[in-house]
Each structure stands twice: as structure tokens, then as C-alpha cells.
Structure 1
Amino acid sequence: MVASIPVGFLSTWILDTFGLRVGMMMGAWLNVVGLGVRYISTIEQVQGDIKFIVVMIGQGLAAMAQPFILFAPTKLAALWFPESQRAIANTLGSSSNPLGILASFLLSKIIVQKEDDIPTMLWIYIIPGGVAAAMMTFGFCSSVPPTPPSASAAESSESFLQGLKKILNNRAYLLLLLVFGSGLGLFNCVSSLVEQILCSRGYDDSYSSLVGALMIGGGMLGAIVTGVYVDKTKKFETTAKLCFTTAVLGLIAFCTLSCFREVSVSIAVAGGVFGTAGFGAYPVIMELGVETTFPVAEGTSTGFLVMAGQVQGIIGIVLSNHLGRNLSPVQQDFSQCKGSVTAQDLTIPLLIYAGYGAFNACIFLLFFRTEYRRLKAEERHAADSILNFSSHSHGTPVSSQGNLTT
């Protein structure tokens, strides 16, 4: 998360200035090079402190690739898909990242049974990374399709600096930046700390993995449902508010129940609700951000939303490290924390997470209002096209008013 923030500004600029293909190629190649460098750290010639340095370089390169991939789905959906398919296209693109994380998490547990298996795991991970880089280089030949799928896709977006000025003066977008950033940040915190949260209460790592899988797996299912729904209804704001509020209720339940022992079913259900509704809101809010800021380029509006989530996620994790308390003797007796997982009582950070989520849900419900600028512009363009066609068919030319940016 730390590496993705400074690189986020660069990736946003590259995606909106040089196009989707260049940005995604850079992300794919940074990722595969990072994977390769991580594997190099396992060879015998790399010893001592050098091994750690090489690992961190590889990890850093792979982390630098993330913004290019995370910021791309909204732009891809806008440029390549008609308005009836944009949200579901965004959903499928956005789901690829957590799906990859879930797959690697499960695959790692299968492959690595002892320390000597780590090089094999790292080598296996290079294969899909290399395939993706090759596909981006030789299979993705243009940033835009030959024929624009919608009127908005045919229009030129604002330049990066012009777009930046506009979003900084857009009250609705700034509110969305705070709210969405809090939701993504809290999801990152909980999903990153889920094992540490639960092991101190006596739940083993297998159960923690199950809860994490429910969050991500349920989230992908929720995102598909909301993506299909808003494509048909265009109720972006209502759907986003409903999903976000439901996710916060799930978060409050999860944070509260995680402070107790022997409530495994309830914790799993709460985690599933949090993930399903939370990730269900993700593509909807991405599309809502574009609607709120149009004609600002999609990479800019999406990029800053994701970066807001990364910043708040880092703050939340740092907060947990500082406010976590040592386990009492009684808690130590039933703790299941092992290996690199630090045994801490995270009750205070969890209650702060719940309170912060509730605060942002209230802000979102009460104060967020926006117009759908892209949809309205496309409706104006469609109406003007019909008017022009009708006028020409009767031999009476009229001037076009179809500029979407006006």
C-alpha cells in the first residue's frame, strides 16, 4: 500500500495522457520483473542481508505495478463498453485483483509445506505474471476500439491538470473521496489483520483463512450483483448508499463479535456481510465517481479514490500497531497466534474502526448528492442526434448541440 501511493499519481497521469494500453503494459511488466527479482533472492549465490534487500526490491516493483492495474478497469469500461455494460465490465475488471489475491493465498498454503518449497512457489507465480505481460504487449494493440461504444467514449477527456483542478473543486467528489476512502481503507485493515484479530481470541489460522475467503469471495459475488443491477437501473447513488451502509453494519458486527470467544459462526456471517456489501459498493462507487466528475478522465477520478483508500488503510494499520495491547495471562492461555503473527488484543482499534465506519456511513447518507453528468451528456447527445436526423430528413438543417463537455 505504501509504494502504491506515490506511484499512484504517476500511473494516473500515464493512463490519462498516454492511454490505457501503455499504462497497463507498464503495470504488467513491473509486476513480472518484480516477481522475477523475488525469485532471484532464493538462489544460493544471494546470501545474508543481500537476500532481504533483493526481496524488498522485487516486492517494491510488484507493488508499483498495482496502481496501473487498479486504476484501469473504470477507464477500460468507459472506452470499450456501451453504457448498458459499463458497470459489470468495471466489476469484472476490479474483481480480478482480489480474486488473484485469494488464489495466491490458497495456492501458497498448498505449495508451501516447508521452507524449501518457497522458491517453487515464487517460480510458479512468475508464470501467470509473464503470460499477462505477453498478452498486454502482443494481444492488446490499441487503447481504444475502432468504433466508440458510446457518445462519451468518443469525446476527449480533460487533461490531467485540468481534471485535477476540477475534482478538487467538486464538493460531491471530495465527499465521495472521504467516504469511499474510509470504506476501502477499513476493508484493507480488516482483511490484512484478520488472522491477528482472531488468533488472540482462540481461533486458529484455518478459521481466519475461512473468514478472509468469505470476505473476498462474497465480495466478488456482491460486486457482480450490483454491477448487473446498476447497468439496468442506473441507480448508482441509491445502490452505493445501500451497499456502504450494509457493509458498515457488517463491520460493526464483526468488530464487536471479534472481541469474544466461541462465536465463530456469527463472526463468519458478519465478515461475509462486510465483504459482500463492501466490495459490492466498489464498482458502483467507481462509476459514480466518473458520473460526478465527467468530463474528467476516468483514470483521474478512479485513481484518487483508490489512493484515498490506501492512505486511510495505512493509517488504520499503523493505528492498530500503536493501540493494540499485550494479551493478559488468561488470553495468552487460549491464544492461537503462531509464527510471525504478533499476539495482541486489538479491541480498541476494532472499536475505532467500527465508529469511523459508522461516522462515514452517516455522512454519506445525509450529505452526498450528485447529478449523473455523463449519463445526462449522453442523453443530450442522443436527443440532438434524433433532432438532427429528423431535421435533415425534412430538408431543414439545424446546428448540432451534441458536444458532451458543454
Structure 2
Amino acid sequence: MTTGAWLKVLSASPEYFYLAFLGQALVGMAQIFILGVPARLAAVWFGPRQVSTACALGVFGNQVGVALGFLIPPAVVGNHEDVKDIGHDLKILYYGMAVAPSIMLCLVLFFFQKEPPLPPSPAQASLRQQLPITDKSTDRQTYLQTLKSLLTNRNFVLLLFSYGINVGVFYVVSTLLNQTVLLYFANAEEDAGRIGLTIVLAGMVGSVTGGIILDKTHRFKECTLVVYFMALAGMLAFTFTLTLGHIWVIYITAGFLGFFMTGYLGIGYEFAAELTYPIPEGTSSGLLNASSEVFGVIFTLAGGEILGAHGDIATNGTLTALLLAGLAMTLLIEGKALKRQAAITLRHSHTHLEQEEMLTTQT
């Protein structure tokens, strides 16, 4: 990501468009890996009553970056008549975008620890106990074997598709938001940008709220179903309030949609970690991100074509039908197939038995 950001610094000139494209591609590829970090870090560093909130805060950080993306570039880069002035503003923007990840890279290189000295949860303790007795030459799964294990896990595959559909629909809504709003409100470009910001900010709150609720209840499937259903309701509300002619109503329905649709991100990561334990959380969340990117590209291209040919009602109706299909897939996931919670329960049982044996021996 840092390399791509510095390439963009060098590309702030019309003749270096290819360099800007290369830098953007590197940043985009890095995003797949970075988006999977919160679930892994949360599992390694936080206990069972903190892990979902920690993951949600990681997703929250990502959404803060998206929100800043709505605010900072328009404030820094002006719409000048002279291309050189635009290039000057872009150079300032790109320097800021390169210095920040460079600082983070140095902090990670010099201060980042792989794991805490003591495991923060019974699930992590079980994993550490298994590592010393593992024969590295024969028993350690390769990455391809891990992928095979994930892709043959029926519950995870259902989540993989339902997650990709949800986030893919969110990408379409965000990408086509400006065009959709302008169909009903002339000269509302600034309002469209603020509505997009509202979606992101509401999603940040939704993400943290979902993490806290998961830590309190550990009801992963139930929370996922509720959030998915409310995202579906938000999509319907957003679709049919556009025709009312009141821009303030769109702010409300878009915020409602963003709260649940973006709030689903962290919940999806944690649900995947529960379904696929002891496979590393970074692998499962990486697949979820890849699924969302694939569905996002397909849905965005299709959504643009439908919007141009048949209008926004047909487009949003299609997106609503896709969310309904994703909700149906979520219903098919077995709610009792929570392997990480089972490991925690088993670990507690073993600890309790060991304590009883020690008391009996002392007696």
C-alpha cells in the first residue's frame, strides 16, 4: 500500500497516467489483505467477551478512512481551469496519502508483536497447545488445503455468498448514488456526496454496535439474520422514498441503510471465524473480502446497465431481490455450528475438571 501511494505522488501529471494506474492497482490489491486484518488481530489479542468489539473497531477504522475519502479530496483538489493547478493540488493530496501509511509501516516493522505472551482466550490457548506437537513436515496444512477445507464447509460457503451479495449491493448503492439522486433532485451533487457520507458514518456506528452486541450475546446467526433483514428493509425504504421529493427523507433512509448494511461487515467476519475455527481468521475474512469484490464488480456493471436502460426502480428492485436471496442463504446456515464457541466451552470444561481433580488430590 505504501509503495502504491508513493507511485501516485510521482504520477501527478497527465503524461504519467499509467503510473497513477499502477499505484492505484497496488493499493487496491493491498486492500484485500488489510481488510482481513481486524478479525485475525481481534482473535489473537482479545478475550471471548472483547473479540467481536475489537474486530468491529478495526472495521470502524476502515470506514473512517472511507469517510475521510469523501471529505478530504474535494477540500484539497480544486476544480481549476489550468491543469497544472490541479496537478499541484493532487501532489499535495498524494503526499498526505503517502506519508500516513509510511509512518504506519515503520511502526509495524519496529513495534508490532505477533501475539501476546499469554493466550487471551481458551480458543487461542487450545491452538497454542496443538502447535508444539504438530509435525511440520506432514501435519501442517498448506494454504491450498486450508482453502479446500473452507470451500467444502457448507455453512461457510453459504456465508461466503450471502456476505458477498450484501457487500456487493452496498458497492452498487455507493457507486450509483450520485446518478440515482440526480434523477429526482436537480443540481444535488453536494447533497449526493453528503448522503454518501451519511451512509458511511451510520455504518461506522452500526459496526461498533454489532460488535458490542455479539460480545454480550454470542448469538452470531441471530444477529446476522436481524442485520441482514434490516438491510433489506433499508433498501426498500431507500427505493420508495426517492419518489417523495423530500431530500431530507433520503438522508434518513440512507443512514438507516448504511447502519445495517455496513454494520454487517464486522458481524460477517466474526461469524466466519466461528464457523471455521481453528483455521486462521485472516484466511476466512480474506475469502469474504474476495467474494465481496467479485460480487461488487459484477453487480456494479450490471446495475449501471439496468439503471441506464430501465431506471432506478428496476435497479433497486434487483438489488432488493439479491438481498432477499442472501437472507435466504443465511437462514440455511446451521446456528449450532459455532466451532470457536465449542472450543471455549470445551476448554472451560477441561479446566473445571482439572480444578476438581486437584481439590480431590489435596483432600
Q: TM-score, normalised by structure 2?
A: 0.88
3-state SS of 1:62 partner: helix
Matched, 1:385 2:351: yes
The aligned counterpart of 1:61 is: 26
The aligned counterpart of 1:256 is: 240
Give runs of aligned pairs for residues 124-273 of structure 1, distance below 5 A.
Answer: 124-140=96-112, 142-154=113-125, 155=127, 159=141, 160-203=143-186, 204-258=188-242, 260=243, 262-273=245-256
Query: Which amino acid in 1 is paired with 2:163?
Result: F
Equivalent pair of 2:49/2:216 in contact (CA under 8 Å): yes
3-state SS of 1:325 partner: helix
Please point out which of 307, 319, 322 is paired with 2:305: 322
Please point out which of 96, 101, 104 is paired with 2:69: 104
The aligned counterpart of 2:4 is: 34
The aligned counterpart of 1:337 is: none
Equivalent pair of 2:70/2:197 in contact (CA under 8 Å): no
Matched, 1:119 2:91: yes
Equivalent pair of 2:11/2:17 in contact (CA under 8 Å): yes
Equivalent pair of 1:182/1:309 in contact (CA under 8 Å): yes
In 2: Cα distance, 1:124 partner to 1:182 partner: 34
In 2: Cα distance, 1:256 partner to 1:211 partner: 16
In 2: Cα distance, 1:261 partner to 1:122 partner: 41
Query: Which amino acid in 2 is paired with 1:66?
Result: Q
3-state SS of 1:127 partner: helix
Post-superposition CA distance 1:7-46 (Å, at most 9, x none): xxxxxxxxxxxxxxxxxxxxxxxx1111111110126xxx
The aligned counterpart of 1:372 is: 338
Equivalent pair of 1:163/1:297 in contact (CA under 8 Å): no
Higher helix share: 2
In 2: Cα distance, 1:163 partner to 1:42 partner: 42
In 1: Cα distance, 2:307 partner to 2:227 partner: 29
The aligned counterpart of 1:395 is: 361
The aligned counterpart of 2:259 is: 276
Query: Which amino acid in 1 is paired with 2:48?
Result: E
Query: Which amino acid in 1 is paired with 2:10?
Result: I
Equivalent pair of 2:159/2:329 in contact (CA under 8 Å): no
Query: Which amino acid in 2 is paired with 1:213?
Result: L
Equivalent pair of 1:239/1:281 in contact (CA under 8 Å): no
How far residue 286 of structure 1 moved from its aligned partner, in angstroms, is 1.1
Please point out which of 270, 282, 290 is paired with 2:273: 290
Q: Percentage identity across aligned positions?
A: 26
In 2: Cα distance, 1:124 partner to 1:345 partner: 39
How far residue 261 of structure 1 moved from its aligned partner, in angstroms, is 6.2
Equivalent pair of 2:2/2:101 in contact (CA under 8 Å): yes
Q: Structure 1 residue runs of 4+, over 4 Å off?
A: none
The aligned counterpart of 1:5 is: none
Aligned length: 341
Please point out which of 316, 321, 328 is paired with 1:362: 328
In 1: Cα distance, 2:52 partner to 2:279 partner: 18
Equivalent pair of 1:200/1:345 in contact (CA under 8 Å): no
Post-superposition CA distance 1:98-141 (Å, at most 9, x none): 2101112201121122324222111122221211111111121x
Query: Which amino acid in 2 is paired with 1:137?
Result: L
Matched, 1:302 2:277: no
In 2: Cα distance, 1:112 partner to 1:52 partner: 17
Query: Which amino acid in 2 is paired with 1:56?
Result: F
How far residue 153 of structure 1 moved from its aligned partner, in angstroms, is 1.5
Equivalent pair of 1:320/1:346 in contact (CA under 8 Å): no
Worse overlay, 270-279 or 317-326: 317-326
Query: Which amino acid in 2 is paired with 1:234?
Result: H
In 1: Cα distance, 2:308 partner to 2:30 partner: 35
Post-superposition CA distance 1:216-246 (Å, at most 9, x none): 1011111111111110111111111101100
Query: Which amino acid in 1 is paired with 2:237?
Result: A
Equivalent pair of 1:78/1:86 in contact (CA under 8 Å): yes
Query: Which amino acid in 1 is paired with 2:111?
Result: G
Q: TM-score, normalised by structure 1?
A: 0.79
How far residue 81 of structure 1 moved from its aligned partner, in angstroms, is 0.5
> What is the Cα-based RMSD across aligned positions, in Å?
1.9
**Which segments of 5 or more consecutive residues in structure 1 lack a partner in the other structure?**
1-30, 327-343, 397-406
Post-superposition CA distance 1:62-85 (Å, at most 9, x none): 111101210111010110101110
